[in-house]
Amino acid sequence: MLETRNLSVFYGRHKALENVSVQVNKGEICVVLGANGAGKSTLLKAVAGLVTPAPGSQVIIDGRPISGLNSAEIVETGIALVPEGRGIFADLTVQENLTLGAYARRARRDEGGNLKRVFSLFPRLAERRAQIARTMSGGEQQMVAIGRALMSRPDILMLDEPSLGLSPLLCTELFKTLKGIGETGVGILLVEQNAKQSLAIADRGYLLENGHIIGEDTAEALAGDPAVRRAYLGAAAEAVPVAPANSASTRQLSQMAEGFAIRAAEIHAAHIAGLRAVGAAAASTSGVQPNPDAKALAGMAADLAAHAADIQSAHIRGKRAAAPERPAGSAPSSANELSAMASDLAKRAGEIHSAHIRARRAKG
Ligand code: ATP
């Protein structure tokens, strides 16, 4: 069993994780959901020994503290990481990549057996064992990355956004494979943006926001939680009973959301003015003029999306903090309005971003 207790990580003065306690049992799939920058990758890196936890943090595997071990020693304890972006060796063959995963002492003894197990899990890799990894499709490269991690015979497999960049069909295959790996007794700690599919295969889940665990439940309960559905599953704002909460902080959040909505409208207007300027320039010359504001607008749209996500998570935290005193059926309009505004804002930021990308494509 893997456990972190009060795990904190600083990057310089920035606190990326604060007192994070999670647990993954044998054969259990745990998913960590969170917005961009919440600290998900940092959690996996800290467990894998790739970043140094703050004093007082504990990482424990099967009752044995492993904080302070280096990353190679941590692999020997039975923890393997499939990093974001896969990290495979592009110029080596599939089999060479897999064999590199077996460098751990715990795996060297039975390299042949491990390879056989990986090939039975991913028959495609057996067929393509001599192919150069860089020429494989995205989904196949992900199989190589997972296969390589499995070559160290881990008890705990950690994966950082494995579905990133995969087609819906490949995502479905990937999650099915992860479920199968869990059924072999390997515990899985999965960081994912694809909340729907990851919750569908997971046993439990954690919600990580701004470096804090703000919620923990069975995957089934999380998938059915209206706040989780709004924040991570893209569900429309629902009129759920919400606690009166701390009215001061609800008011503050509401004001912030209003401020961002105004800012979103300003950016939208500026963006449209920019597009018009490009259109006018294109009409008056044979070549299309570059839009000087395009880069700045893209940055603003991305900032706005990040702010919208922050508001959404602050809202969820507020709602959760207030939950114990929730009077049955009470539904103050301010919290619902806030939730709807945050969700509109996120949608609007997405629209601005897509308009920007369309405009750039149109410019060629
Ligand atoms: P994403 O979903 O976007 O990958 P994440 O939840 O995995 O995000 P992390 O990558 O763990 O988030 O980052 C958590 C915070 O720590 C962010 O604010 C990020 O900017 C910061 N951070 C991450 N790595 C570093 C680093 N090497 N140096 C400084 N700050 C960092």
Ligand 1: atom nearest CA of 38 is 6
State in Å: Cα 219 to ligand 1 middle. 25
pLDDT value of position 268? 55
In this structure, which residue's CA is closest to atom 19 in ligand 1? 37
Computed on alpha carbons and rounded to an integer, the radius of gyration of the chain in Å comes to: 23
| Furthest-apart CA atoms within the chain: distance in Å | 72
Report the candidate in 56, 53, 44, 50 with the shortest Cα–Cα distance to residue 70.
50
Q: Is pLDDT of 37 > 80?
A: yes
Q: Which runs of E-coded beta strand occur in 200-338?
A: 204-209, 212-218
- pLDDT tens per residue across span 293-305: 555 655 565 566 5
Cα–Cα dist 343/311, whole Å: 9
Q: Is pLDDT of 353 > 90?
A: no
Structure tokens at 40: 């998900």
What percent of the chain clears pLDDT 70, i.e. is strictly above it? 64
State in Å: Cα 47 to ligand 1 middle. 15
State in Å: Cα 211 to ligand 1 middle. 10
Cα–Cα dist 55/112, whole Å: 40
Determine which of 156-165, 193-202, 309-318 has the lowest per-residue pLDDT on average. 309-318
pLDDT value of position 248? 43
- Residue 153 CB contacts under 8 Å (≥ 6 apart), including other chains: 78, 104, 106, 107, 110, 114
Cα–Cα dist 28/3, whole Å: 13
Cα–Cα dist 228/207, whole Å: 9
CB distance 13 to ligand 1 below 6 Å: no
Give the up-direction half-sphere exposure of residue 170: CA atoms within 13 A in the CB hemisphere: 15
Cα–Cα dist 82/66, whole Å: 19
By DSSP bridging, strand 2-11 and strand 14-24 are antiparallel
Cα–Cα dist 358/151, whole Å: 43
For ligand 1, mutation pick of 14, 22, 36 (most atoms within 8 Å of CB): 14
Q: Torsion angle of alpha carbons 136, 133, 82, 208, nearest 10°? A: -40
Under 8 Å between Cβ of 209 and 313: yes
DSSP-assigned beta bridge partners for residue 157: 80, 188
Cα–Cα dist 362/279, whole Å: 10
Determine which of 7-11, 103-107, 232-236 has the lowest per-residue pLDDT on average. 232-236
- pLDDT tens per residue across span 223-270: 999 888 888 887 654 443 444 444 445 555 555 555 555 555 555 555
Which parts of 32-188 fold into alpha helices (H)?
Answer: 40-48, 71-76, 94-100, 105-108, 111-121, 123-127, 138-150, 168-183
CB distance 103 to ligand 1 below 6 Å: no
Under 8 Å between Cβ of 264 and 348: yes
pLDDT value of position 174? 92
pLDDT value of position 87? 81
CB distance 16 to ligand 1 below 6 Å: yes
Q: Does domain 2-224 have CATH number 3.40.50.300?
A: yes
Under 8 Å between Cβ of 239 and 262: no
- pLDDT tens per residue across span 114-153: 999 999 999 999 999 999 999 998 889 999 999 999 999 9
Structure tokens at 167: 């087609």
In this structure, which residue's CA is closest to atom 25 in ligand 1? 11
| Residue found under tokens 């192919």 | 131
Structure tokens at 319: 């709602």
pLDDT value of position 252? 52
Ligand 1: atom nearest CA of 14 is 30
Determine which of 10-19, 172-181, 276-285, 351-360 has the lowest per-residue pLDDT on average. 276-285
Report the candidate in 3, 105, 10, 113 with the shortest Cα–Cα distance to residue 54.
10
Structure tokens at 325: 């005193």
Q: How confident is the model at residue 44 (pLDDT cuts 50, 70, 90)?
A: very high
Under 8 Å between Cβ of 266 and 293: no
Indicate the pTM of the whole model.
Answer: 0.67
pLDDT value of position 319? 52
State in Å: Cα 17 to ligand 1 middle. 10
Report the candidate in 86, 3, 14, 15 with the shortest Cα–Cα distance to residue 47.
3
pLDDT value of position 203? 97
Extents of the domains making up the chain: 2-224, 244-362
8-state DSSP, 136: S
Report the candidate in 160, 212, 220, 216 with the shortest Cα–Cα distance to residue 189.
160
By DSSP bridging, strand 204-209 and strand 29-33 are parallel
More confident of the two residues 260 and 60:
60
pLDDT value of position 313? 57
What percent of the chain clears pLDDT 90, i.e. is strictly above it? 49
8-state DSSP, 50: S
Q: How far apart are the first and last CA of the chain?
A: 52
